[in-house]
Structure formats: structure tokens, C-alpha cells
Structure 1
Amino acid sequence: MSTCPASGYWRRVVARNTTSPYGKGQGDSGRAPMTSISILDYAMFLTETRESPRHVAGLSLFDPPADGGEDFILRMVEDMRAVPACPPFNWKLGSRLGALPVWTETEPDMKHHVRHLALPRPGGYAELMKLVSDLHGELLDRSRPVWEFYIIEGLPGGQFAFYLKVHHAYADGATMSRWLDVSLSTDPKSDKFRPMWSLAGPAGRRRRQQSLTQVLEEFGKTAGRQLVSVAELYTMILKHSLKALRLGDSKVPIPFTAPRTLLNQRLTAPRSVATATIDLERLRRAGKAAGGTINDVVLTLCDAALTRYLSEHGELPPKPLVAEMPVDLRAEDHEDGGNVISILLVEMARGNMNVDERFNAIRDSSHTVIKEFSGLSNDAVMTYTLVVQVLAQLGDSLGLAERLPPLGNLVISNVPGPPQALFMRGARMTGIFPLSTVAPGTVMNITVFSYAGTMLFGLVAGRDAIPDLQQLTDYIPESLVEFEQSLGLSDQENAEKSSAARIKKTTKKKRNGKKSAPGATKGRNKKTGTP
């Protein structure tokens, strides 16, 4: 079995999670090392179906290095396949009789996991998005480590793309963001080359070798936490019950009371993806002028775009939409992967509100929900998330999703990324678009990612349910222009940026001899920090 590079990051993770690199594994019994899987991570497998895969992905675009040479891509493919895979990228799901499955280590076939594709000539971004849409709708092979990496060439101006797809049981968006930051360099002259699978570190915790005293002590702590968690969940259920009886004033939406719209159709396997890019400073400036945050502005723009789209299709509900909003529960120094998240329900705005009223309603709703849940323990919040998501999946699997009120209408997630430009062997990453999974009972996910002074929107939807996803995506930057005008912030530069914030079709004319990248905006990008 290949050896992982002993990076400083890897040494820190192993030292914290186990008394030896493998615990009681290959060195002790001759068997492949095994690692426990958390209930939340395993739930990603339990809720997975052919129509609803549970993987997350990122689409990265790169400008070619000036001195890369004609064989730059081929050399990169060969070098990537030669790099051994470390946990979790050499883990596959193994079974245990009468217990939760475990991660077992294996030797990945790197030619299967690292793939080289070329778009048909003349190539273009519409072809790239069609290819990625098809790839994103395919299940990962559970008989192997559950990840795939694609190097895609054939784009205008020598650009190339990376498409990394990993199972959600390996990582959430925050984990993938950290991997990205570590794997690339801020120095355009650096020859740094560390693929994510060479340094990621465990997605779960290895089981320690413990004495009986330690086992009993840990059991006591766990039981205590669970008692607190049960009490907190009981309080939350009581608040929901009082609200349902109109005897309470909680602003936290009751699960499974969202309005039914075309966003809650039965999901089929084919996927569509679409992207948009907005200057981060515009979002920050609008949020400050309106008395809120960048995340408040993002939620408002998404709600405004969805309201417009639903209205045009005669599907605007009388009640506000409900967004499922993932929240990272890790401490700042927490480095493990896997999933340490909660999914909170946030009531959006009513369809007849103007953009200012929409912003105020969503800001108040999201801040109230976060404040109410911040008083609960992580165990309680994660248990709440697991229960409602499993119930939503159960209704979906039993064919009841179209008869019962949905848990929410879609997922909207905001993942902070690196504030500075990143490079891979001199090739500048011009953008990375997050592409996530679709929640049970819904047909769409919107994830945003901040990078080098821009906010990158990645939309994923069931193709049969939302065949015109790019049209809906175009409404997001257009909604920002409307919001800026209401705040007195509109100017010609912003209008030009918004008008160009969509994927350019290959049939359109080239600007300055080059085609624009997915979601690219005109004008300069101010390099500012993440939200």
C-alpha cells in the first residue's frame, strides 16, 4: 500500500486522532486499516439514490502559464496520477456485522480517479457546462474510494478546467475550501504541486486504543451531552408546537410547512449547472448601506431571482419561500474533514415585497434563526438536522414528497474562500464554482463561494424540473442592480458588470479575441477579504 507524504498537516491530524498512524490496523493484524464513520457522514450514504446523488464538487478554471509548453496538460496528468492518495481519498466503505460501517483503506486505481478529457473543437464554455452537468448527475462507484477528478482542456485561449467530485461523506464545503487553500500557492512563480488527495487528512476520527477507565469516562461524557441535547430538542419542539397553535412568537420556521412550488417536484437523475460571478465589493457595499451583511445580500438576491422566475411561470406562492441554510459548527482551529454542520430553516420574503422590504425581512429572519440556534449545543443542532433531513428523505423515498408539505424549497449555502488569487504551477485560477447536492424534496441547490475579490455562484438543479436554469441564474446579478438603484449606489460600471455576469455561448462574438469565462463580469475585481 502506498505511503502518504508526511506533511506537517498530516502529522498534526494523525497525532491528534490516534496513538499510531493506523491504530490497531495493518501493522497489528495484517488487515487493512479501518476508521470509524460518524452517523452524520453515514447518513449521506443512507439518503443517496440514483436520482439524488450525495456528492459535492468544484469547477475550477485556470489560465495557462506563460512558459508551460504544449505538453503542460499531459505532464500535469501524469504527475497527478503518480501522487499517492491519502485519507480520506484512499478510503472506501466497508461493512461490519451488527454495527455501523467503517472506512477501510485501499490502493486506488489513479487512472480511474484522475481522468483527462478534452472538449470537442472548437470548444467553449457552453460545452464545458454541458459536460459538467452530465458528470454531476452520475453516482460515484461505492466499490472504490468515492471521488473523481477531471482535467478538462479545449477551452478558448488555452484555458483548462478542473472538476473535482467527492462524496459528501468525505467532506462538506468548508472542508473542501480548506483543502483548496492548502493545495495551491499564492506565488505565481512557485512550482508547488500538492493535489488535494495527497494532503487532505482524515474525514473522520480514528478510534483510539483506550483503557477501560477511558472508555467508561468517555461514555459518561457522551451520555451527559445526550441528556442535555434531548432537553434542548424538547424545548425546540415545544416552541414549534406553540407556533403551530399560534400561541408563540418564534420566527424559526416549523419543519415541513414550506409552500409547495415547482422547486419541489419529483427529482430525476439528469442535472443542469449554471454559474454567475459578482464583484465582492459590490455585495459588501450594498450590505453596509442597507444595514446588513454580505450573506443577507446573497439571500436577498437569490430570493428575488427565484420570485421573479416563479412569477413568470405562474408558480408564485402566497407564503414566503423557505431556504435550507447550512451552517458550519466547527471551532476555528478544527481541521478534521467530514461533516460538522447544521441545516437551519430560514423564511425568505413574500413575493409582493419590493427589494428593500425583501432585504429587511430576510435579514431579520436569518439573524433570528441563527441567534435562536446559537444557544443550543452542537450535539442538539446536529441531531435536529439529522432527524428532519432523514424524515424528508423518507418521504421522498416513499413517494410522499409530492403529497406532504416540503421541509424547504431549496438549499442556499455560503462558503468563505481564499481572499487572494491562487496558482498551480504558474497557472492562475481565475475562478472556482461550487456545485453541491440537491436536498430531499427539492430540485435545486445554490452555493456561493468567495474568491479573490469575487463571489462565485454555482447553481445545480434537476434538468427536467428546471430546464432553463441559466435564465434563473441571470436574474441574480440583475437583482443586485435593482437593489443598488434602490440604495442609490448604481453606476455605469456596476451595470456593465451585471450585464456580463453569465456564461457566454460559443456562438457569441469574442471580446478582445477571447471568450469570457463562466459567469465572468466586466470591469476590474477589487481584491478584498472574505465575508
Structure 2
Amino acid sequence: MKRLSGWDAVLLYSETPTVHMHTLKLAVIDISELKGRAFGIDEFRQVIHGRLYKLDPFRYELVDIPFKFHHPMWRENCPVDLEYHVRSYRVESPGGRRELDDAVGKIASTQLDRSRPLWEMYLIEGLAGGRIAVLGKIHHALADGVASANLLARGMDLQSGPQSDRDSYATDPAPGGGELVRTAFADHMRQIGRIPGVMRYTAQGMGRVRKSTRKLSPELTRPFTPPPNFMNHMVDGTRKFATATLSLADVKETAKHLGVTINDMVLAISAGALRELSLSHDGQADHPLLASVPVSFDFSRERISGNRFTGVMMVLPIHLEDPLARVQAVHDGAVDAKEANHLMGPELVSRWSAYLPPAPAEALFRWLANKDGQNKVLNLPISNVPGPREPGRVGGALVTEIYSVGPLTTGSGLNITVWSYVDQLNVSVLSDGATLSDPHELTDAMIDAFVEIRRAAGLSEELTVIESAMAQDRTS
């Protein structure tokens, strides 16, 4: 047994019937190399079964504490019913990118069952070109982006040669109510003992901010006033999904030419696309948006569970018409935001979240989810996660693409998540049903925004075609 951290617990408490807190990981797989060898749901379940011993979070079961006396615990090494967790799904014809994206949106529209380990896996068949896809639906309380990337690497054969998979693992008994209360009381005592350290960490951060000579942008000094926008409203329970693929080499070339980072490029591309959609949906784009960008403070390759990140507020200058001015403004704003995060201490929110009482926290998030209004903290979350640099395999079949997206947050109907994989920069967009009738409107706008930046920078407007069937769906 181990207790959820305060940050893990917050991601659990913030879930409501319309704000689902699972993340999605989508892998497109080429099974042509299998040369006729079957790879259906039975074979896929066998692959997962053989890897369960090293996919620890898949064996975690949520255990609530009586009377919500403390944050819940994970029962480790619980039994796993693969007939339930590993499912088959068939997309509609002709099985291209849009049909797959539609299927992912439908699967994302239902919550995970908290009485079982908080994940589901789907083998998606019916794709064009003899492909299949695997979709992982994993609760955010289990893992953040870095942990998910490490978990994904463990689930794939990232190295050639035989795999030492095991057939079974030992299960642990379920705890009794008395034991849960006793351990919760003992943990509360330890938390009380840590309060002076948390207060000292907070005071040190405030002191660094006061002494800093850096003048932060006005948007970052007033982070609780994001402008009203078409994406900010009471979120409904429907989920729609869209993807696009860019060449990582093209993005790196552009970033190097402009003297910025890949993260800056992702934010600048997002800003250009959101400017286009704001002009279309709101009739104006007069004010910069505020995006929460997860920044990890634990990049250990061995970590496959838990959340060790903070949300850094970044300015998206959608009010600037010149694409190169947007890139420079994003870069300058990111420097300010990272400096502010460093000064305050990246673990500030995470440390204080340990003291958030469960019952009031859940009630607060339910009230916010049912309140008809915009998000008062941010406009949307945007993530950029570095994925595997080497191609992976599942059951011997080559993984050609990986897409990932995080959950929607209360009052915000969009999430943009970018994952790099080998030579690709893969864009995923999640929307609720009220924000966009077709989220491909945003992914198309992101490609247009990237071309616009390259044109303004004097680079070729012809984008590199990634040699994969999903990318070809986009260009055809």
C-alpha cells in the first residue's frame, strides 16, 4: 500500500461527471511485418499479460479511507481482469485518420471505473493500410507526462532481442478499515511535522521573488484574469479528438533559425492557430491568452507513476498579427514564466496540496464544474512531452506513431498536447462537444500557423512528409 501524494489526490478530486481526468496515449502499429501471423485481441491480451509485472501502475487499485480521513491509497499488486481492461474496437470505413480520431473521442467520453485499476486499453482494428492502433486510457492520478512516457517505453520493445517477460506476479491482500484509519492518522502526524519545512520553502521562494530584479510581464503578475474566449465555459461530457503530424526536423530547423526552443515553437504555433479560431468564433483576438504548461521537476527515467510537475502560466500572444512577433513574444514570455517558477519554487503547489482535505476539495471541484462560466485561472492547458527517440514494437510489430493528450480542465473546453516520437512531432487536440464541432479545425490551423512562421522566416513552405500512413492521410 502507498498513499497518493497531495498532487495525485487533487487530480482525483477534480474529476466530475463532465470533467474526466484520464489521459490518452495512442500508438499506430504496422502489422505488415508479422507476415500473416495473427495479432488480435487474444494475442494483445497475452502481450499485456506478459508485461504486467513491469507496468506497476496497471496493478494499482484505489482504496478510499473511511470517513475521507485522508487522501486515498493505492493497493499495489491487485488482481487485474484483462478481459475487462483490454478491449477491442473497430473503426468505421475507410479507416483513415478521421475515423480513428472519431473512435478515440468516443472512447474518451466515458469515465474510468474507480472500483477497478484506473486504466483501459483498446486494440483498434479496421484501419487502412493493414494497420492497427492501441489506445491507452489512464487516469492522471496514476502518472504525469514524464511517467507516462517511461511507462510507455516499458510496454514496448524498445530494444531488439528476446524479452524476459514473466507470466505472473504476486498479488497483495486488501487492507481492513482499521488499518487504513491507523495509517492515515500516523501519516497526518508526519505531515504536521513537515509543515515548518513547507513554510520555510514558501518563505524562501517569496524572498527570492522580492529580491529579483527581473520585471515580469503584466499577464504573469495577474494570472487569475484570463480573457473570455470561445473555449471557456461549462464543459460537457462529450469528447472529440483530432491529430496532426509535423516533421521534428522541420520544427528544429525553424527553432534554430529563429533562435528559440522547440517548446517556444509549440506555443507559437498554438498561438497562431488559436488566433485564427478566436477571430472565427469570437470575431476578435484582442487580448493574449493564458496557457498552463506542465513543467516536470522529476525527469527520472525510472519513474513510471505519480505526478511530479507544476503548471507554469505562459502567455499566448494571439493579439499579435505578425507571426515572427508572436514567436519572439512567446520566447520572452516563456523566459519570464520559467524564471517566476524557479524563484517561487517548482514544488510549491505540490507541497501545499498534501494538506488539502478530501471532502471539501471534492465539493469545491463539483461546484466549479457545474458553475456556468469561464475558467478564472487559465484559458487552456498546453503540453509538450518528449517521447521515445527510438522506434518501439508491440508484439513484434513496429509502432509508427504515438499521440497523447491530457484531460480538459474545469471551465476550459480545449487541451493541446504535443509528443515527439522518433522523427515526428505529433499534435493532439481534445475538445468537449460545445467548443468545436470538429477539432480538426484546430489541428489544421496549427499546420497553417507553422507554415506561416516558416514563410515569414524565409524558410521553405514545403513541409517534410513523414513516411507513415497516418501522416499520408493528412496530406492526401
Q: Which amino acid aligns with 1:288?
A: K
State the secondary structure of the residue aligned to 2:314: strand
Secondary structure in structure 1 of the residue aligned to 2:287: coil
1:39 counterpart = 2:10: no
Gaps of 5+ in 1: 1-33, 200-206, 208-213, 502-513, 524-531
Is the counterpart of residue 517 in structure 1 residue 466 in structure 2? no
1:237 CA drift (Å): 9.6
1:82/1:422 CA distance change after superposition, 3 Å = closer
Q: 1:478 to 1:192 in 2, by over 3 A?
A: farther
Q: Distance in 1 between matches of 2:437 and 2:134?
A: 25
Q: Does 1:275 align with 2:243?
A: yes
CA shift in 2, pair 1:163/1:191, >3 Å? farther
**TM-score, structure 1 length as denominator?**
0.76
The answer for unaligned runs of 5 or more in structure 2 is 171-178, 180-185
* Residue 101 (1) aligns with residue 69 (2): no
Match of 1:458 among 424, 428, 442: 428
- Tell me how far 1:301 sits from its aligned partner: 0.4
Corresponding residue of 1:133: 105
What code does the residue aligned with 2:16 have? T
Paired letter, 1:425: G
CA contact (8 A) 1:275 1:433 kept: yes
Identity %: 26
* 1:117/1:150 contact within 8 Å kept: yes
What is the rounded CA distance, in whole Å, between the counterparts of 1:520 and 1:251 in structure 2? 39
| Amino acid in structure 2 at the alignment position of 1:138 | T
Q: Residue in 2 aligned with 1:310?
A: 278
TM-score under structure 2 length normalisation:
0.84
Task: Give 2:132's match in structure 1, choosing from 136, 146, 160.
Answer: 160
The separation in 1 between residues aligned to 2:128 and 2:217, in whole angstroms, is 55
* Separation of aligned partners in 2, 1:400 and 1:236: 38
Shift of 1:216: 13
Matched position secondary structure for 2:138: strand
Find the counterpart in structure 1 of residue 388 from structure 2.
Answer: 418
Residue matched to 2:17 = 50
2:152 counterpart (180, 194, 199) = 180
The structure 2 residue matched to 1:445, chosen from 392, 406, 415, is 415
Task: Tell me, yes or no, if the aligned pair for 1:37 and 1:102 is still in contact at 8 Å.
Answer: yes
Counterparts of 1:50 and 1:217, CA distance in 2: 34
Q: CA deviation at 1:478?
A: 1.3
Alignment-derived partner of residue 77 in structure 1: 44
The count of aligned residue pairs is 451
Aligned partner of residue 40 in structure 2, secondary structure:
helix
Counterpart pick for 2:33 among 66, 80, 85: 66
Q: How does 1:313-328 map to 2 (within 5 A)?
A: 313-328=281-296
Question: Is this contact kept in 1: 2:26–2:402, CA < 8 A?
Answer: yes
Residues 80 and 114 in structure 1, CA contact (< 8 A), matched pair in contact too: no
Deviates more, 1:101-110 or 1:217-226: 217-226
Please state if 1:90 is matched with 2:59.
Answer: yes
Post-superposition Cα deviations, 1:477-515, rounded to whole Å, max 9, x if no partner, equal 111111111111125x42x74xxx9xxxxxxxxxxxx99
Task: Kindly state the Cα deviation for residue 518 of structure 1 after the two structures are TM-superposed.
Answer: 5.5
Q: What SS class does the counterpart of residue 517 from structure 1 fall into?
A: helix
Amino acid across the alignment from 1:363: H
Is 1:476–2:446 an aligned residue pair? yes
Q: Following TM superposition, by how much is the alpha carbon of 1:191 offset from its aligned partner in structure 2, in angstroms?
A: 5.3
Shift of 1:441: 1.7
Q: CA RMSD in A?
A: 3.6
Residue 224 of structure 1: how far off its partner (Å): 3.8
Q: Check if 1:111 corresponds to 2:83.
A: yes
Residue in structure 1 matched with residue 143 of structure 2 by the alignment: 171
Greater RCO between the two (CA within 8 Å, min separation 6)?
2
Which deviations, in whole Å up to 9, do the C-alpha atoms of 1:198-254 show, x marking residues without a partner? 89xxxxxxx9xxxxxx99997797334212233256569989xxx9xxx98666242
Contact residue 375 and residue 410 of structure 2 kept, 8 A: no
Q: Is the 8 A contact 1:116 1:152 kept in 2?
A: yes
Structure 1 residues 142 and 394: alpha-carbon distance in aligned structure 2, compared to 1, 3 A threshold: same
Shift of 1:374: 1.4
